[in-house]
Structure formats: C-alpha cells, structure tokens
C-alpha cells in the first residue's frame, strides 16, 4: 500500500482510530494489506473480516506476530497493535482501496482496465497483464481475485509507479460489479461474453446481461468499452456506452469487429489465427488450447492497443504465454497420455468449448477420454444444462466418459439416456475411485479432458493424473 498516516487510513475507512504504544495519528503505515494473517509481513495492515468458517479477529495476534503495524477490526481486540474499529471490515477494505487508487491516479499516469464476463475473465486478465508489463509497472489479480475481498486487495497493491491496474470483476448477484468497478471508475471496460454461469444467482440470463452491463456504466465518461461483437447480449450494451459518453471498440470474428480473428485452428500444439488489427493482419500462434481462448486474446489485444501498445508487441507477448492460468486448459502428462486439466470453473459455455477442443486436438489414431464433474450455481437451469453437456459429449462420439461426484450423477444418467449406454460411460462417487479406474484404463494415445466446477474438486484429480503420466 502507498504510505498513509493512521489518521488518513481511519478517515478513508470511516473508523475509530485506537493507537497503540508510541503510535500517533501521524504514524505512517505502508505495508501490504492482507485478510490472511499468514500473509502478513513487517509493517503490514491486517483486515480482520468475519468469515463463513471462522473469524479474522481470532487471528489478529498471529498477524501481530508476523509484523502487522495496524489492524482494521469490527471490535477492539486485546492485542498490542494499533487498531481502527469499523462497522464493516469488508466495506472498509473497499473504502481503503478507493482512496488509495484515487490518490495514485491523481498523482500520476495510472490507467485502469476492468474485465468482466461469464467466462474467460482470468485468462483475459493474464493475457492483458502479459502484454502490458513490458510497458510499465502493472498490477493484476492473483488467480481469480475478483470478488468483494479479492478485487480491493488487488487495487491496494498499486504504487505511485504503477502505470496499469487490471481489475477482474466477478459477481453472482446484481449490483456487485457496480460496487467493485465503482471503486476505481475504469478507463477501459472489457465485457467478454454473457452466458449461463451463475444464472441461478442472477435469476435468469436477462438479469445476467444487466449485471455484466454494470461495468459499461462504471467506465469513466470519455473512456472505452471493449465489447464482443459475436455475442448479441454483449453488443446490446453499446447504447449504454453511448449514453455514458463512452466509445466502443469491437472484438471477435464478426466482420464488424475492429480486432478480428479469422481461420482459427486448434491442434494439440495450441490455437492459431490470423488477427486483423489497426489495418494490419498478423499471424497469432497461442500455446493455449481452445478457440474460445483466441476470443480472450482478441479482447486483450483490443484493450492493449487502445492503451497505445503496438499490435506486433501484443502478438509477440501473447505467443510467449505457455499457460493462461493453472487449472484452465492446463496441459499435463506426456506425449503418450495427454491430460488437459480444465476443472477450476465450469459454465455451460466453457463446458461445451472444452469438449469441442478435446475433439479438435484428438487425432484419428488417438482416443478421447472425458472426466466430467458437476457445474454449480445454475439454479433452476441445472438439470437442463447438464443434459445439454451430456448430449454434446455423445454427439462428439467420445468413447470413454467418466462422470465423478454425487452432484454429477444426473449428468451420467443423461449421458446414458442420450445413447452412451454400451459401456462408454462410467460413474464414480469419489475422485479416488475415478483415479484408480483411470490408471488401469488409460493407454497410449489417450487425450484426457478433466472438466468440472471448482466446487467439484476435480482439478486435484487432474493434477494427480498429470503427475502420474509426467
């Protein structure tokens, strides 16, 4: 965090400062802000937020042992550290992030990009950060830090030398993106796509559209909205941008897109395309698997070139990326048995894209194996969307389908109902059972996709398989 006095922090979070020892309101703090006491280092600021399983106030002592200079708490704690007492610790975290970003922005040349979408946020964030880092100090989220805690923690990492802040905004209910993006008022807002992810929480696809459009409404007047020309739900947000005095830049495969891909080809070596941008056509060879990741790359290029990065530099830096993010189309194993671990997030759209990618990268003498777990947060759409996944798996003629987990039993039954009933599909309640089966079943030439939601936990099964065939 940038240097602030205790009094300035207290004012930003609207809290009651209780200095300890020799500290005064003018004492300066500048350490990292953390909600995990184990991550605290000397001079750090610990935010004691209540949690579902435990309470951060129980760990203030540990934070002090690790060198915390300040604790932001909802009630005073009997520990030897200055404290600021607030009504809501998570709200205070957001208020502090707003203050820090505003100060850095006012004093320097900080440019802020916000990214949202039902799928692809983390991959696009990583791609954009890879493009921007050689241009200047860039702050971007670790993993998927995109919620009410993770997003402010990322924002608080900016310094007076930071040139770019890339923020990822996730949500599972209306209003969340508006609150998070409102902390920083992005210069550029990127909307990737609108799908069924979290549709249960939003109450339907139209409500999801409204929620994702909150980012366009948050972009500063005179800023830029980078929108997916291939997604009608995203393109419907253009009038909102116009109302806000925000320009629009289109990406996609549609002829209207200003940053456009054509001749997209997917193979075991990666994803290739011809990319038209700024009046030029450049070949792009991603090492990342999946045509859907080419769309994410287009979004990153559209945002980066709008910020002044040369198109050829965007392409060169994207081609250096070996992995977009752990557990997202992550290639493991060896040439004989290739494991594709894509089990961190699973929406209907990403599920379909992953299955199609499996089919595209599997040669005629090789065998497709799909290890499938449940999707989550689909609400009333759960059964229908799992049935669609089952239908696609059968239509792609995947010869071995391994379904794992009680929550995914409906998927298994749908696979059987769609015609995969002659031994192609098997079901296991636990990952251990599935692992034992797969270790006996897999053979040279197998291309194995492991796909599920984060909650299903199959990413660890994918890791285990990858290690076994390394």
- Enter the pTM of the model: 0.88
Provide the β-strand partners of residue 188.
Answer: 113, 224
What's the pLDDT score for residue 324? 72
Angle between the 89-107 and 6-13 helix axes, to the nearest 10 degrees? 120
Neighbours of 51 (CB within 10 A): 11
In words, the CATH class of domain 4-87 is alpha beta
Distance CA 460, CA 353 (A): 21
Residue extents of the structural domains in the chain: 4-87, 108-319, 330-468
Q: Which residues contact residue 53 at a Cβ distance below 8 angstroms, ignoring those fewer than 6 apart?
A: none
- DSSP string of 434-470? HHHHHHHH--TTEEEEEE--GGGTHHHHHHHHHHHT-
What's the pLDDT score for residue 52? 76
- DSSP string of 149-207? THHHHHHTT--TT--EEEEE---SSTTHHHHHHTTT--SEEEE----STTHHHHTSHHH
Give the burial string for 333-368 (b: 16+ CB within 10 Å, else e): beeebbbbbbbbbbbbbbbbbbbbbbbbbbeeeebb
Candidates 198, 193, 200; CA nearest to 232 is 193
Q: Record the tokens describing residue 235, joined without a space.
A: 């393109």
What's the pLDDT score for residue 211? 92
What's the pLDDT score for residue 200? 59
Candidates 215, 288, 294; CA nearest to 252 is 294
Provide the β-strand partners of residue 84.
Answer: 17, 72
Provide the CATH topology of domain 108-319: 3.40.1190
Given a contact cutoff of 8 angstroms between Cβ atoms, the answer to whether 167 and 108 are in contact is no
What's the pLDDT score for residue 174? 87
Q: Which residues contact residue 353 at a Cβ distance below 8 angstroms, ignoring those fewer than 6 apart?
A: 119, 290, 291, 292
- In CATH, the number for domain 330-468 is 3.90.190.20
Alpha carbon 404 to chain centroid, angstroms: 24
Given a contact cutoff of 8 angstroms between Cβ atoms, the answer to whether 355 and 370 are in contact is yes
Burial class (CB in 10 A: 0-12, 13-18, 19+), 374: buried
Distance CA 415, CA 413 (A): 5
What's the pLDDT score for residue 403? 96
What's the pLDDT score for residue 202? 62
pLDDT string in tens for the chain (470-residue length): 999 999 999 999 999 999 999 999 999 999 999 999 999 999 999 999 998 778 999 999 999 999 999 999 999 999 999 999 999 999 999 999 999 999 999 988 899 999 999 889 999 999 999 999 999 999 999 877 889 999 999 999 999 999 999 999 988 788 999 999 999 999 999 999 998 665 656 667 888 899 999 999 999 999 999 999 999 999 999 999 999 999 999 999 999 999 999 999 999 889 999 999 999 999 999 998 989 999 999 999 999 999 999 999 999 999 999 877 788 889 999 999 999 999 988 889 899 999 999 999 999 999 999 999 999 888 888 999 999 999 999 999 999 999 999 999 999 999 999 886 677 899 999 999 999 999 999 999 999 999 999 889 899 999 999 999 98
Candidates 153, 123, 119, 149; CA nearest to 139 is 153
């Amino acid at each position: 965090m940038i240097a602030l006095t205790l009094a300035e922090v207290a004012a930003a979070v609207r809290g009651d400062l209780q200095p300890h020892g020799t500290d005064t309101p003018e004492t300066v703090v500048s350490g990292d802000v953390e909600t995990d006491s184990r991550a605290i280092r000397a001079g750090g600021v610990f935010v004691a937020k209540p949690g579902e399983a435990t309470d951060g106030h129980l760990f203030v002592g540990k934070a002090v042992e690790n060198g915390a200079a300040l604790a932001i708490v909802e009630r005073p704690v009997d520990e030897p550290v200055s404290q600021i007492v607030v009504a809501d610790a998570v709200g205070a975290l957001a208020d502090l992030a707003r203050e820090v970003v505003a100060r850095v922005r006012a004093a320097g040349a900080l440019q802020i990009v916000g990214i949202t979408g039902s799928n692809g946020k983390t991959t696009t964030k990583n791609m954009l950060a890879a493009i921007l880092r050689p241009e200047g100090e860039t702050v971007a989220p670790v993993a998927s830090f995109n919620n009410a805690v993770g997003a402010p923690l990322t924002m608080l990492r900016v310094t007076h030398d930071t040139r770019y802040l890339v923020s990822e905004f996730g949500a599972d209910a209306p209003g969340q993106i508006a609150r998070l993006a409102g902390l920083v008022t992005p210069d550029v807002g990127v909307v990737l796509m609108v799908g069924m992810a979290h549709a249960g929480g939003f109450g339907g696809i139209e409500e999801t559209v409204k929620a994702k459009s909150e980012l366009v409404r948050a972009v500063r007047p005179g800023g830029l909205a980078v929108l997916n020309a291939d997604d009608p739900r995203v393109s419907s947000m253009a009038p909102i941008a116009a109302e806000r005095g925000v320009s629009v830049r289109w990406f996609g495969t549609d002829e209207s897109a200003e940053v456009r891909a054509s001749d997209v080809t997917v193979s075991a070596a990666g994803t290739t395309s011809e990319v038209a941008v700024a009046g030029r056509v450049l070949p792009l060879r991603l090492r990342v698997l999946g045509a859907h990741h080419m769309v994410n790359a287009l979004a990153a290029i559209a945002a980066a070139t709008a910020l002044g990065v040369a198109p050829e530099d965007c392409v060169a830096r994207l081609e250096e990326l070996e992995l977009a993010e752990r557990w997202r189309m992550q290639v493991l194993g060896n040439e004989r048995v290739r494991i594709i671990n894509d089990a961190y997030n699973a929406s209907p759209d990403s599920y379909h894209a992953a299955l199609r990618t499996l089919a595209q990268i599997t040669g005629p003498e090789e065998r497709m194996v799909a290890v499938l777990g449940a999707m989550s947060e689909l609400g009333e759409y759960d059964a229908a969307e799992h049935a669609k996944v089952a239908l696609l798996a059968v239509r792609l003629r995947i010869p071995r389908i391994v379904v794992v987990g009680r929550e995914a039993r409906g998927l298994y039954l749908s696979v059987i109902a769609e015609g995969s009933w002659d031994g192609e599909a098997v079901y296991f309640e636990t990952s251990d059972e599935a692992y034992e089966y797969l270790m006996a079943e897999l053979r040279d030439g197998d291309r194995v996709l492991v796909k599920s939601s984060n909650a299903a936990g199959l990413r660890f099964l994918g890791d285990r398989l990858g290690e076994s065939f390394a």
